[in-house]
Chains A and B, each alone.
Chain A
Amino acid sequence: MKIINTISKSLALLAIVGTLGIAPMAMAHETPCPYCKMKVVQNTKEMDNEVVLKVGNKRIEYRCVYCIIKDQKKYSGDLIVYAPSEKIGEPIILKRTGGKWTAPEGTVFLNVFTKHADCAALSRAFTSKTALDKYVAAHKVADAKALTLEKFIEAVNKPAK
């Protein structure tokens, strides 16, 4: 859970920064995630976090892939998602073409967050199950399962209990 702690610390810092009303320098026109309304987590030296949705002529940042899947109904056109992977600077490209989602072969998803405060850390894409397992082990993520794209979307769309 080290990474979660790191992200939690980052979030705590963001929360403090937010409370103080400090606008960080590098973030342009910072807006909250269009779905969960929490601050979009920026990339760090250790890990990419920014999830970008390209739709029509827009490029919009979301907090995690879960948030994009949840918010997708508002867009009628084709979608391209640049989802941060375990490799810095190498996002996984997900596509919704004609309503059907596709991902590169081998892509798996982690989706175990219970609060959106943790969604950026616990709703992520990986290039392989090995990479996901490594992430889960390194950060002691409980109850982790590697989901295919289909199962991930199904899990996201599952009605809340």
Chain B
Amino acid sequence: MKSTFLLVLASLLATFAISQDMPEMEMPNLKKQAELPTMPRDMPGWIDSPGLDHLFYKAAPYNWAINRIPFFAKDMFATGVGHAMAYEALVRGEAPTLETKTFDTINWVLKHQPSLPVDEGAISPTFMRKYGYLEKVFDWAHLLHFQTIDVFMHQGWTDAQKEAEIERLWALYQAEPYAITGLPMNMEYLDSFPYSMKFRTDYPKVNGLFWGYHWLQTVNYDMLYRVPVQDQAAQYELIGKRYHDVELYKTDRDFMPMTAEMSPRFAKRFPFIANAFDNLHMLHDNVNDIFSQTNLNEAQKQEQTKIAIYRVLASTHSKEKAGDGEALTMHDHRFPPSQPGMGMMKGSEGDEMWMSGMGWMNMGECAHCSIALPEGQPWGATVFADGWTMTVRCLMCARDMSSETPGRAIIRAATEDPNRLLVLISDEEGNWTTNIKDVVFLEKFAEHPECSAWSRAFTSRAAFDTYVAANPEYKDDKPMTLVEWAAINHGTPDTFSRPDKPNPYKGGGGTPPVTKSGGKP
């Protein structure tokens, strides 16, 4: 009885000590739960099994297609090394040199990437021995990352074949006990534990690397999705440079990059995969925070790691469905109406969310003219520039948004043929190259609410003529070449607006209180 009392007392004191010794808990508007989460009763049995249970790729003709873009492949392989080195350092008690010695070592690897995937167990033996169950979850999700990329980079399959295979890969992934849920989860909730935010606060450089990897791992999907294989590599020249020059070393992000922010089209088509990747990346953040706690003993770290895994496992949410759930709980599976591939974010309301580096944006609206995005075909375009990816209504919005943004840009746009994506890549001066050599444009400037009708791209002159024949209001308009079209600039539309609210991550603007029904007042 006495020992039980002492155990309870020690546990209470430990919890008290943790909450007392977390300076970030004092930070404004970063609300956290006061108590450490407790072990659930239905923790799956495999989590205590010491077996390796190593899973490998599904045998398939597309495996290793990632090597079609060698620099991309090597950058992706290097992310695994970076993860493993940081975890090994943390579990070996080398946190004091994480931002110096470990950072330098990882940084060297990122600049001298391996040509093949590296067995993380060989780099992080201590981590594997202590947290093998966590590695099973990470490894299985990372295989999903790699194989979905391989499918998109496989030559010889149609987009429909690729998408069907992605669905099969998802089913295969979900069939294993280590699978992470594809349901959207509330990111504010997942980042609200007593230990949360510790890693990004104490180790901003290494955290920046982690979030940089997650930027790369999510930005690549729109680079590949429905993009002909021969048009993928040219995009990585720009994206890869951005990754190495800027994204890896950013320490001022408000939150980790989300899949739907970086690859909105992929996230909309495969929301369950986008959600799984975000939940995976949030698990990385949770684990980083747990490992970097100085006030948790090893047993507590093990316990909190297992609970963090439990929170995102597919098995934990097997009876739930997307769109349901009580706000700010583990089963908050709501999502923004226009983007099922993302859980609710801190301060989000409806489609509005705070995007780091862009401010408040509305995912249901054109990022340039603020008019609602079109439903159906043509779906519009996306603009990749300055590290972000934004969805716009039409080609004009895409071009003008790129024109006012410093640096190179990529436009991925719908044409009259739903199976042919236009990929335009610009240099520093806004001179574009195209993947469709006969592309022509219609642009009869009028009011923005109809811009997706009068600003379009066509794969050929014949396609343009067909459209004009069906829409006689354009009979006097001539098809424009890429050079002619690129030289036009209508500037910022009068219709542009953005929500005038504070950054929810920096003070004010928190999530509105939850009503009894679980909805917003």
Residues in A lying within 8 Å of B, measured CB to CB: 19-25, 28-31, 34, 55-61, 74-77
Contacts and interface: CB of A to CB of B under 8 A. Distances in A.
Contact of B492 (A28, A56, A57): A28
Most chain B CB neighbours (cut-off 10 Å) among A20, A28, A55, A59:
A28
B497 interface: yes
A29 B507 contact: no
B502 A22 contact: yes
Contacts of A76: 429
A24 B498 CA distance: 8
Interface stretch (B92-100, B167-175, B302-310, B399-407): B399-407
18 contacts: A20-B502, A21-B505, A21-B509, A22-B501, A25-B497, A29-B368, A29-B492, A30-B359, A31-B386, A31-B405, A31-B406, A34-B406, A56-B430, A57-B399, A57-B487, A58-B428, A59-B491, A60-B405
A56 B500 contact: no
Contacts of A61: 404
B15 interface: no
Q: Lowest 5 CB-CB distances: which A-B pairs, in order?
A: A21-B503, A56-B429, A57-B430, A23-B359, A28-B492
B225 interface: no
B321 interface: no
Contacts of A55: 428-430
B82 to A, nearest CB: 26
A59 B404 contact: yes
B92 to A, nearest CB: 37
B500 A29 contact: no
A57 B506 contact: no
Contacts, number: 85
A23 B504 CA distance: 12
B406 A59 contact: no
B203 interface: no
B496 interface: yes
Given A21-B507, A23-B498, A58 B429 contact: yes
Contacts of B404: 28-29, 58-61
Given A75-B428, A75-B429, A29 B502 contact: no
Contacts of A75: 428-429
Nearest to A77: B429
Most chain B CB neighbours (cut-off 10 Å) among A58, A61, A75:
A58
Contact of A19 (B359, B499, B506): B506
Given A21-B503, A21-B507, A77-B429, A60 B492 contact: no
Interface string B468-510: 0000000000000000001101011000111111111111110
B431 A56 contact: yes
A23 B507 contact: no
B430 A25 contact: no
A46 B232 CA distance: 49
Interface of B: 354, 358-360, 367-368, 386, 399, 401-407, 426-432, 486-487, 489, 491-492, 496-509
Contacts of B358: 29
A57 B404 CA distance: 9
Nearest to B508: A20
A25 B506 contact: no
Nearest to A53: B406
A12 B357 CA distance: 20
B441 to A, nearest CB: 13
Contacts of B486: 57
Contact of A74 (B368, B426, B428, B507): B428
B143 to A, nearest CB: 37
A29 B401 contact: yes
Contacts of A29: 358, 367-368, 401, 404-405, 492
Nearest to A30: B359
Contacts of B402: 58
A20 B506 contact: yes
Contacts of A57: 399, 403, 426, 429-432, 486-487, 489
A19 B254 CA distance: 12
B489 A59 contact: yes
Contacts of A22: 500-503
A28 B499 CA distance: 12
B500 A21 contact: no
Nearest to A62: B406
A21 B406 contact: no
A21 B489 contact: no
B135 to A, nearest CB: 37
Contacts of A25: 497-498, 500
A30 B497 CA distance: 12
A23 B502 CA distance: 7
Contacts of A74: 428
Contacts of B368: 28-29
Contacts of A28: 368, 404, 492, 496
